[in-house]
Structures are given as C-alpha cells and as structure tokens.
Structure 1
Amino acid sequence: MSNLNSNLAIYNRHPFHLVDPSPWPFMASLSVLVFLFGLVSYLHGFKVGNFLFVFGLCILVLTSVVWWRDVIRESTYEGSHTVLVQLGLRYGIVLFIFSEVMLFISFFWAFFHSSLSPGVELGMIWPPQGISIFDPCQVPFLNTIILLLSGCTVTWAHHAIIHGNRNQGILALVFTILLALLFTGLQFYEYKIAPFCLSDGIYGSTFFITTGLHGLHVIVGTLFLLVCLVRLYNYQITAQHHFGFEAAAWYWHFVDVVWLFLFVSVYWWGGI
C-alpha cells in the first residue's frame, strides 16, 4: 500500500494541469451552432430564427460564465496553474491576439483595396459620390483620446498590482471601465447620427463592419476588465498571481492599437 501511495505521489509530481472532464466545451459548441443557425434563419425571414438566436446566445453566455468560474477555481483555489501552465496560457493569449490581428487585417485589406484604386462603379473617387463622411476632429478624435487614456489607466492598474498596491489597482480599473463605457456610448451616438448606413456601398459596409467589430472587442474587453475588478476586490488577484489581469491588459492594449489604425486610415486618411 505504501508503495502504491509513493507511486501516486511521484506520478502527480509534475507541473502540468490535467484538466478534469467537463461538459462546457460540448455545451459551448452546441450553443454556437444554435446561435448561428438562428441568426441565419432570422436574416432569411424565418420566424423561428429570432427565438433560436436569442436562445443560443443565452446558453452561450451562461456556459461561458460557468466555464470561466471553473477556470478561476482551478487557478485560485486548487493551485493548478503552475508557472509552466501560466507560461502556456501566455503563449495561448499571444496566439489568440495574433489571430485577432489577422482578422482585422482582412477588413483593412478590403478598405484599402477599394480606397487606393476606386473603380468606375465608385466614380473613380474615394469616398464615393454621395457619401458624407465624419469629421475626424470631432467624435472620432475624442474617442481616440478616451481610449488612449484607458490604456494609461490599465497600465497604472498593472503596475499597482505588481507592487502590491491593491487600492490603487482597484481605482485604476474603475477608471478604465468608466472610460471604456464612455467610448462605447460615443460610438453608439456616432452610429445614430451617421449620414450613411451599412448598405451604402463598399464605404458603408467596410466602415460599419470594421468599426463595429472593434466596438464588439471593446465590449468584450470591458467585461474582461470588469471580471478582473471583481476578482481583485475579492483578493483573487495578487502580485504573485495575476495572469488573468495580464491577459485582459494585453487584450485592451490590442484594442487601443487597432483603434489608432482605424482612426488614421478610415476616419482621417479615408476622408481626405
């Protein structure tokens, strides 16, 4: 019996995390299937599509919440996220952000493909005839300042956490989330007063798809930071254990950089 216990101890003496069986990956994939099926059905005019879209979205959100809850338990209370596991997670978030960069490159490619050499169907000019563009020195410039300030405050929070200053970390995260909400509100206001719509040719489609995708990333990043704020308040993020916040901060800086490219290319250069 003692030999068996010693063998088990040796077997478990490794820095890797062997994840327990979980139903959440299956539930997440099933909910995404229902969500997309409902969305496509709704766009094609089927009445059941609206219900399937909302139902799939609700199940996806609920699955994400309980899945992330389990990950927090594994990292905070079970001690499963060793140094080697955290290194793998860092590689994972870097690859994830790289995939997001490639996604945005595809939409920037579509924008520059049409703007650098507009065809005859666009009147050989850019922006196309009849499109009234936004003044980049108004709401877009204000949103740029807000997002850059949020990048400064999230860096402030990062340094405060590293140095063990929990109160400053909480304060900086609150400022970051408020700035993110202000940015999102101004983006919705800009959409409301837009003189063109998604169906107004290549300019309208590239503008709303690119800025809308960025806005979706801002919302996701805001939720990411909000979860970090709750965890920091509950003493789950410390100077020695804060990879979750680092991932959120990296993601937020990625959102900042993408917006700078959006502002310079779509709002400023695209309207010259």
Structure 2
Amino acid sequence: MSQGTGYYVPSPSKWPIIGSTALLFMAFGVVGTVNKIPLGYGVLITGLVILAYLLYGWFREVALESEAGKYKAQEDKSFRWSMGWFIFSEVMFFASFFGALFYMRVLSVPELADAEHELLWPDFAGGWPTAGPGFDEKFTPMGAWGIPAINTALLLTSGVTLTLAHWALKKNDRGALKLWLLATIALGITFLGFQIYEYGHAYADLNLKMTSGAYGSTFFMLTGFHGFHVTVGTIMLIATFFRCLNGHFTPERHFGFEGVAWYWHFVDVVWLGLFIFVYLL
C-alpha cells in the first residue's frame, strides 16, 4: 500500500491487552478499596502503574510513527475528528454535573422549603448555598474573591501563553515555543497548588467537606473533576514540551501540539463556568 495515498495500518500491538489488564486491576482495586479489603490499595496501585506504562509506551510509539512520516492527510483528519469527539464527550460529562447543580439550586431545594414540605422540614428555609434539609452541621461557603479569582487569572493567562507558544511554532521560533510552553506548564502547576491549598482551607477552616450535603458534594465534585482534568492537561503539556526539546513538530504538521491546546482551552472554558456558577453566584 502506498504511504502517499493509503491509510497507515500499524502492526499488531501489545498495548490494547496491557490497557485491558490495567483496567482489570483498577476495577478490582476500587472494589477492594471501597470494601476495605486489605489487598485493595495494592491492586489499585498496580493497575495505575500499568496504566502509566501503557500511556507512556503507546503515546511514545504514536509520536515516533508521526515523526517517521507514516501519517498523511487521512490520518491527520482521523486524529482531528477523534480529538473533537473526545472533547465533546467531556463537554457532556461536565454538562451533567452543571445540570445537577442547576436542578438542586433552582428546583429541588426551593421545593423542599415550600409549604407542602413544612411538616417534613419545618426549619428549612431553602436558599443557596445550603447543605439541604436534615443537615445540622454548619459550614461556610467558599468565597469567589480569593484563591478562586487567582486561579481564574492563572488559567486565563495560561490560555494566552499557550496561544503564544502555538504562534511561535507556526513561525518556527523554537526558543519562544519552549519558553511560552514552559510558562503554561508553570501556570498549570501553580493552579493545582492553589487548589490543594483551597481544599485544605475548606476542610480545616470552613468545615466544608464532601459530606456537607448538596453544596459540599457539588462543590467538590465539580472542582475536583476539573482539577483532575487540569492535572491530565498539565501532564500532556509536559510531554509536549519534551517532544519540542527533541525537535518534534514542524510549522506545517503539529497536530500533536494542537490537540493538547484544544484540550487546555476546553479546561479554561469549563473553569470560567465553575467560577461563575459555583463560586460567584
């Protein structure tokens, strides 16, 4: 098959079975951990180690195939569609949590405070933020104008630095590319550091926990999953940075860089929604 016009088909790969093994260990590890079985943590960690090996090995193999010129226009189109659908699935993932937040704030919490439920919850006045009826433990909601505002500035700035890195790549300015990409990584790590501090502050000073009813569960679910996505995005940026150090990507062909940039900008947009609907309103 001609590489100029055909679609590259790799040789049979070991990575899918390694990925399945990682998922098997992780599934049993989660079940064991939840049920407090002694081996649970060990099995879960084993699964995570196998998964890390899978991601490193498989992505490295794909990067080397790309640099060897095995991917042409059709493969590039497939990668773009795949990344687009992946980000769309992530949009739906976060939409479900924003939908849950909307349902509680606008529908269920006011309904539990109306006259119909007065006999069930006579002292519940509704309003937001609230843990909901039946929760006697008090907490202080997380304010917007502190660490959340700083983190908003950090992520918005990281979107700018990543765009500058992309422009530098298009101009084949490798020095500026590495500089702005490194700045983006530093901003992402700083964001995560502030979020860790914020969680410690919430537990220690505000009595805000996962168990703090409606507000606590939605707050930690939304911000926690976003923090996980920032972590994944930062790892992707670090891998991209090392690829740049090794001379990968050209001004004409660099979807490996573009795909990571798409993901990072998606993470930025989700955070704006979080800042407005979780912290500010």
1:138-217 matches, within 5 Å, as 138-194=146-202, 195=206, 196-217=208-229
AA aligned opposite 1:91: W
The secondary structure found in structure 2 opposite 1:47 is coil
One-letter identity of the residue aligned with 1:62: Y
1:158-181 CA distance string (max 9 Å, x none): 010011111000000010000000
**Structure 1 residue 240: Cα displacement:** 2.0
Structure 1 counterpart of 2:72, from 78, 82, 97? 82
Deviation sequence 1:68-92 (CA, Å, 0-9, x none):
1110111112x11112211110011
1:68 equivalent in structure 2: 59
Q: Is 1:51 aligned with 2:42?
A: yes
Report if the CA contact (8 A) 1:15-1:83 is conserved: no
In the TM superposition, residue 37 of structure 1 has moved relative to its aligned partner by 1.7
How much has 1:238 moved relative to structure 2? 1.6
Match of 1:45, SS? coil
Change in Cα spacing, 1:44 to 1:256, as seen in structure 2 (3 Å) is same
Equivalent residue of 1:193, what SS? helix
Structure 1 SS opposite 2:39? helix
Please give the alpha-carbon distance, in whole angstroms, between the structure 2 residues aligned to 1:36 and 1:149.
Answer: 38
Percent identical = 39
Name whichever of 15-24 and 190-199 sits farther off: 15-24
- TM-score, normalised to structure 2, is 0.89
Query: For the Cα contact (< 8 Å) 2:144–2:280, is it kept in 1?
Result: yes
Q: Distance in 2 between matches of 1:37 and 1:209?
A: 23
Conservation of the 8 A alpha-carbon contact between 1:15 and 1:85: no
Q: Which residue of 1 aligns with 2:88?
A: 98
The residue identity in structure 1 corresponding to 2:49 is C
- Partner in structure 1 of residue 13 of structure 2: 22
The Cα offsets for residues 179-228 of structure 1, whole Å up to 9 and x where unpaired, read as 00000000000000002111111211111111010000001100111111
What residue number does 1:5 align with? none
RMSD over aligned CA atoms reads 1.4
Structure 2 counterpart SS, 1:110: helix
- Determine which of 251, 257, 272 is the counterpart of 1:245: 257
TM-score calculated relative to the size of structure 1 = 0.92
List 4+ stretches of structure 1 deviating above 3 A. Answer: 10-13, 120-123
Which letter maps to 2:129?
P
- List alignment gaps of at least 5 residues for structure 1: 1-9
Return the offset for 1:12. 5.6
In the alignment, what sits opposite 2:117?
A: none
Give yes or no for the alignment of 1:256 onto 2:268: yes
Letter in 2 for 1:115: R
Amino acid in structure 2 at the alignment position of 1:102? M
Report the count of equivalent residues: 259
Quick one: structure 1 residues 203 and 20, their matched pair in 2 at CA, closer, same or farther if it must change by over 3 Å?
same
Deviation at 1:11, TM superposition (A): 5.8
Instruction: Supply the distance in 2 between the matched residues of 1:201 and 1:215 (Cα, whole angstroms).
Output: 21
Instruction: Tell me the CA shift for residue 156 of structure 1.
Output: 0.3
Q: Which amino acid aligns with 1:40?
A: V
